[in-house]
């Protein structure tokens, strides 16, 4: 009796399959991001995908750590998690070599992250993220530089100020205003900030109710909401300095001051910002801010101030699709398919394929000497090969190869013995 066919195993909810053409798109976006950071001197680094849970407790967002992490245990029973973000890892790495790293340090990274949250448009449970961090400077110019890197990314992607705005706030100044001018008790500030962080989603009326739930009187709650929603006409000193610095290069057109930007991570100490898309998406594209105490929280002996941002791929790609600005991937397929005319010609085809690869030409070699040439050429078309190279009996006798340009639909015979010239013709590096 035959077994029933096994049902296909589904993809895990909230994750993505990247077929070659999809991954080429990811690579294209990654390269634009890393180039934007590289132009400012940011060096690429990476950390592990698994960390101890203790690294995040009391430092990252409580909502993320308690409700949105994928947790596992090692054989010793210690709790581990798949990284939901990179900043605690960065702080741990810096703290481990705090005497060796020259400051200020500019680091960037592209990697995969995991959060167990409800999948929706622009948000998944597995995603890629570009991280940009500037360590060792408390200057407002450092804050401005990280924001300027984000603006440079927008420019490189063809996004204008009408497409996306970076909303900036000073969390420390907001806390001072809450406890000073608005009389919020110090012990209530954290809860108030968590409520303000959701103001854009909850609305003013619901936010007043939530502020009352964390201890504010109704009149005081309304006063806090009115203050947060009011235009920032007299910005705190640090925000004014950031805007002034951005104005030097005209990047201030991307920036709006907004007291409602708080950010949910516990480690933020000052400047915080989020990029918000206009149009149908209308959601945060990425966020960042200043974290001046995090290295000591993870065991460092010295205080290393820092400011950074994290840009996820999914929401940004949604915006780019809306604006028809998705960066074009590199051409797919090999530079050349070396065909095999028959069993007698297979060794010659294999030798020339190897010699071309050594000179930087991407070569796919046909595998079945018995396959008809027509099918081999059809395969070359389907895989996106730009050339096909044929060594038949006539070519072998004449010491030539037939090169078909599959893009321009033309062909010519070239000497088989001058491999450097042939490699150059096919887009390789003859000096390799």
Segment 379-430, tens digit of pLDDT: 999 999 999 999 999 999 999 999 999 999 999 999 999 999 999 999 876 6
pLDDT, residue 4, reads: 66
pLDDT, residue 364, reads: 96
Given a cut of 80, is residue 283 above it in pLDDT? no
Residues of the chain with pLDDT > 90, as a percent, come to 73
Given a cut of 60, is residue 206 above it in pLDDT? yes
pLDDT, residue 200, reads: 84
Q: Is 52 helix (H, G, I), strand (E, B) or coil?
A: strand
- Short-list 30, 26, 6, CA closest to 16: 26
Three-class HEC string of the chain: CCCCCCCCCCCCCCCCCCCHHHHHHHHHHHHHHHHHHHCCCCEECCCCCEEEHHHCCCCCCHHHHHHCCCEEECCCCCEEEECCCCHHHHHHHHHHCCCCCCCCEEEEEEEEEECCCCCECCECCEEEEEEEEEECCCCHHHHHHHHHHHHHHHHHCCCCCCCEEEEEEEHHHHHHHHHCCCCCCHHHHHHHHHHHCCHHHHHHHHHHHHHHHCCCCHHHHHHHHHHHHCCCCCCCHHHHHHHHHHHCCCHHHHEEECCCCCCCCCCCCCEEEEEEECCCCCCEEEEEEEECCHHHHCCCCCCCCEEEEEEEHHHHHHHHHHCCCCCCCCCCCCCEEECCCCHHHHHHHHHHHHHHHCCCCCEEECCCCCCCHHHHHHHHHHHCCCEEEECCHHHHHHCEEEEEECCCCEEEEEECCCHHHHHHHCCCCCCC
Q: Is 167 helix (H, G, I), strand (E, B) or coil?
A: strand
- Short-list 331, 391, 393, 402, CA closest to 366: 391
Lowest mean pLDDT among 132-146, 187-201, 250-264: 187-201
Confidence of residue 335 (pLDDT cuts 50, 70, 90): very high
pLDDT, residue 279, reads: 73
Given a cut of 80, is residue 40 above it in pLDDT? yes
Strand partners, 387: 336, 405
Segment 159-180, tens digit of pLDDT: 999 999 999 999 999 999 999 8
Confidence of residue 275 (pLDDT cuts 50, 70, 90): very high
Confidence of residue 264 (pLDDT cuts 50, 70, 90): confident
Segment 346-393, tens digit of pLDDT: 999 999 999 999 999 999 999 999 999 999 999 999 999 999 999 999
Confidence (pTM):
0.88
Residues of the chain with pLDDT > 70, as a percent, come to 97
Average pLDDT, the chain: 91
- Residue entry with tokens 């990280």: 146
Helix or strand run (H / E) with residue 219: helix 218-229
Domains of the chain: 31-45+91-322 (3.30.930.10), 336-425 (3.40.50.800)
Confidence of residue 59 (pLDDT cuts 50, 70, 90): low
- Residue entry with tokens 């798109």: 25
- Residue entry with tokens 């709650």: 221
pLDDT, residue 302, reads: 87
Segment 115-156, tens digit of pLDDT: 998 888 888 999 999 999 999 999 999 999 999 999 999 999
pLDDT, residue 312, reads: 95
């Amino acid at each position: 009796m035959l077994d029933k066919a096994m049902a296909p195993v589904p993809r895990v909810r909230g994750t993505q399959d990247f077929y070659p053409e999809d991954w080429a798109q990811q690579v294209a976006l990654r390269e634009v991001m890393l180039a934007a950071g590289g132009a400012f001197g940011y060096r690429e680094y990476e950390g592990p995908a698994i960390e101890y849970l203790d690294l995040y407790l009391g430092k990252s967002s409580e909502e993320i750590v308690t409700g949105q992490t994928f947790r596992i245990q090692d054989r010793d029973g210690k709790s581990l998690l798949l990284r939901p973000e990179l900043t605690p890892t960065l702080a741990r790495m810096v703290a481990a070599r705090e005497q060796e790293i020259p400051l200020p340090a500019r680091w960037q990274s592209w990697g995969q992250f995991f959060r167990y949250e409800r999948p929706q448009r622009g948000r998944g449970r597995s995603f890629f993220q570009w991280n940009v961090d500037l360590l060792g400077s408390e200057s407002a110019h450092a804050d401005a530089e990280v924001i300027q890197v984000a603006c440079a990314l927008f420019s490189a992607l063809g996004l204008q100020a009408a497409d996306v705005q970076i909303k900036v706030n000073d969390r420390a100044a907001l806390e001072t205003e809450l406890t000073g001018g608005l009389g919020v008790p110090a012990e209530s500030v954290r809860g108030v900030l968590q409520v303000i962080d959701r103001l854009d989603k909850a609305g003013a009326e619901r936010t007043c109710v939530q502020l009352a739930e964390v201890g504010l009187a109704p009149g005081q709650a309304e006063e806090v909401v009115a203050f947060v929603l009011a235009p920032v006409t007299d910005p705190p000193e640090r925000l004014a300095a950031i805007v002034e610095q951005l104005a030097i290069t005209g990047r201030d057109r991307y920036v709006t001051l907004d007291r409602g930007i708080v950010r949910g991570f516990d480690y933020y100490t000052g400047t915080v910002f989020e990029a918000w898309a206009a149009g149908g998406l209308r959601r945060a594209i990425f966020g960042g801010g200043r974290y001046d105490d995090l290295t000591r929280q993870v065991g460092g002996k010295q205080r290393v101030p820092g400011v950074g941002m994290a840009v996820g791929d999914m929401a940004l790609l949604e915006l780019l699709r809306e604006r028809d600005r998705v960066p074009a991937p590199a051409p797919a397929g090999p530079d050349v398919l070396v065909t095999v005319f028959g069993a007698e010609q297979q060794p010659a085809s294999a030798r020339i394929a190897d010699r071309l690869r050594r000179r930087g030409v991407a070569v796919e070699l046909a595998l079945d000497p018995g396959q008809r040439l027509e099918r081999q050429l059809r395969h070359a078309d389907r895989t996106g090969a730009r050339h096909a190279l044929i060594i038949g009996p006539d070519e072998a006798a004449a010491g030539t190869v037939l090169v078909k340009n599959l893009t321009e639909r033309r062909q010519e015979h070239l000497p088989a013995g001058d491999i450097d010239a042939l490699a150059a013709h096919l887009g390789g590096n003859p000096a390799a």
